[in-house]
């Protein structure tokens, strides 16, 4: 009985502090036939205060500074797209709004709790200047988290954003 109780408590703790992934917008466009996506390089990461765990919906209100990119997230995104047989290139900016190219833009938000961790990662697919689909990785807003990082979250978000 004691082992079972420890198992239950441990399971609840790990589940409650796990990072979640959400589909936050979609126009119901079928993305299963995409053959190429350009990923826009983001040179800036946002930092939020220690001990603050905002929701992705209002996290921009808590940004205290912008720093040079903490991680090469665009490289991780391209790697995941290539695993799904989608050609990928990293670009510095999107072209005009009349461009038929699919683009991915992202923003990462970091905090500190014994070590640096990525609290939120937002990824959007755009076409013709409009958002086709957006997803987000959200660290726990109750203060307990599993130290999310891009290496763990990008594959989950790419899977979610490309689902039909």
pLDDT single digits (tens) 40-96: 999 999 999 988 889 999 999 999 999 999 999 999 999 999 999 999 999 998 766
Looking from the CA of 102 toward its CB, the CA atoms found within 13 Å total: 21
The structure's pTM equals 0.85
Question: Between 3.30.70, 3.40.462, 3.10.50, 3.30.160, what CATH number should domain 19-162 receive?
Answer: 3.30.160
pLDDT at 140: 78
pLDDT of 15 over the 50 cut: no
Domain regions of the chain by residue span:
19-162
Report the candidate in 144, 96, 153 with the shortest Cα–Cα distance to residue 121. Answer: 153
DSSP string, 102-136: EEEEEEEEEEEESEEEEEEEEEEEEETTEEEEEEE
Using the structure block, give the residue that is written with the tokens 């989950």.
156
Which of the pair, 94 or 128, is modelled with greater confidence? Answer: 128
Per-residue confidence band for 164, with pLDDT thresholds at 50, 70 and 90: low
């Amino acid at each position: 009985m004691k082992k079972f109780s420890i198992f239950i408590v441990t399971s609840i703790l790990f589940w409650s502090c796990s990072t979640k992934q959400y589909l936050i917008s979609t126009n119901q466009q079928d993305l299963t036939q995409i053959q190429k996506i350009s990923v826009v390089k983001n040179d800036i990461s946002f930092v939020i205060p220690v001990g603050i765990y905002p929701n992705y919906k209002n996290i921009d209100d808590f940004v205290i500074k912008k720093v040079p990119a903490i991680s090469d997230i665009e490289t991780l995104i391209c790697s995941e797209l290539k695993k799904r047989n989608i050609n990928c290139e990293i670009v510095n900016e999107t072209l005009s709004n009349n461009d038929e190219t699919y683009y991915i833009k992202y923003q990462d938000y970091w905090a500190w709790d014994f070590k640096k961790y990525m609290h939120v990662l937002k990824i959007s697919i755009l076409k013709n200047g409009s958002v086709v689909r957006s997803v987000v990785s959200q660290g726990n807003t109750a203060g307990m988290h599993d130290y999310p990082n891009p290496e763990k979250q990008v594959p989950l978000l790419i899977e979610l954003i490309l689902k039909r």
